[in-house]
A and B are shown apart, each in its own frame.
Chain A
Amino acid sequence: MASKVLFTAGAKGGTGKSTAARLLITFLRQNNADPLLLDLDDESSTLSRFFPEAQRVTIKKKSSHDVLVEQAISGTHPLILADLKAGTGREVLDWWLDVPFEELQAMAVTFVCFGSITSSPDSVQSFLTWVAALQDRVSYVVFKNLKDGEYLPDYEQTAEAAQFRSLFCPHHVVVPRLDEEYQTELERLNLTIAEVLDSSDGISARRKDLGPILSRLLVRARLRSYQRRIYEQFDPIRALLLPE
């Protein structure tokens, strides 16, 4: 069975990699895909906090990442989503260079890389470092996370980023800024937007109390609109995201 591995990339923390992963997972689930979730962030375990069913992988050595390829070639999961931790740049990049992409292609395993960039130059630099290592062996989706503002000159106006866009034709998803109050509540309660929207009587499907802020009708309406804006951008790339 063909497997597709979706993974987050970039060594800089706080760029919205796990936020992107969360939105992606809820979108995939809404489209009847059930990805195997691998949480390779053994420091903050963000993915496991929001999705307790995620498989936690402790990164102690380079070979710890082998689980990604092993799961992909086992064929039991047509779709795998791996959330890599920030700050693992070098070791993870070294690992990628060992991945036998040609052999995996013959086994119908494909990779999609999700980068997340903000207005911080470091977010662009660390992502481009990954691109230089991965080249055209993966497809790219770039999340333009506007949490720190809409000014992204290091991605939109630099020669290196322009070259990346021209060579690899990445897909772009703009993640608008979400009100800090809502964002903090979601993080505090480890709730995804989809969970909040699917809840009833202020209780989520995981039996979590939404609290006074997320239970408000207007807040839920804003979250719905926010989620819709992102899902609408996923729609044109469904074929890339969903299993074949």
Chain B
Amino acid sequence: MPKPYQSKLIAYEAEIAALRATRPPTPYARIAEILCERYALSVHRDTIHSFVRVRSHGMKVFCFAPQVETVCLDLKRKTSVGPKPSGVGLSALSSTTDPRPAPKFNYIPSDRYNLTRLTTEQVDAMERQFHEGEN
């Protein structure tokens, strides 16, 4: 029997809650970018919106309902005990989630053309550099 649907965002719930708890709340598109940068998780902003909305318990500007926010604050408090890592706050929260290996290849297309054109010589040099790096 198929497993019931579970959002892939559950693992990042605390981080999303913290981002939505900022004043003003972090936009969904920015949250999508942050998740992509940190965990190579590709997710559409609408997915995050739906994810937050169902946990907002009818609040007008969607953020997590109080009990979830409390968990987040607890997490914040826990991370604030002892030596603080650089970039306290959201980065500290992210360390509580399961970190995934950094992706080898990063590319996030924008609405506009965002490839970097090089000359043939530059491409050759870049490929040589990669191969030398491997060796």
Contacts and interface: CB of A to CB of B under 8 A. Distances in A.
9 contacts: A63-B2, A90-B42, A94-B43, A97-B41, A132-B105, A135-B105, A159-B122, A161-B115, A167-B130
Contacts of B116: 158-160
B134 to A, nearest CB: 8
B8 interface: yes
B54 interface: no
Contacts of B85: none
B126 A163 contact: yes
Interface string A99-111: 0000000000000
State which size class the interface on B falls in.
20 to 34
Contacts of A40: none
Interface size class of A (residues with CB under 8 A): 20 to 34
Interface stretch (A48-56, A118-126, A188-196, A224-232): A118-126
B118 interface: yes
A106 to B, nearest CB: 18
A82 interface: no
Nearest to B3: A63
Contact of A97 (B8, B105, B120): B8
A163 to B, nearest CB: 6
Contacts, number: 87
B118 A157 contact: yes
**What does DSSP make chain A's interface, helix, strand, loop or mixed?**
helix
Interface in A125-148: 125-126, 128-129, 131-133, 135-136
Interface of A: 63, 66, 90, 93-94, 97-98, 121, 124-126, 128-129, 131-133, 135-136, 153-154, 156-168
B43 to A, nearest CB: 7
B104 A135 contact: yes
Contact of A129 (B5, B44, B107, B130): B107
Contacts of B88: none
Contact of B42 (A121, A133, A154): A133
B113 A121 contact: yes
A163 B119 contact: no
B16 to A, nearest CB: 16
A128 B127 contact: no
Contact of A132 (B47, B108, B123, B127): B108
A98 B7 CA distance: 10
A164 B119 CA distance: 17
A163 B41 contact: no
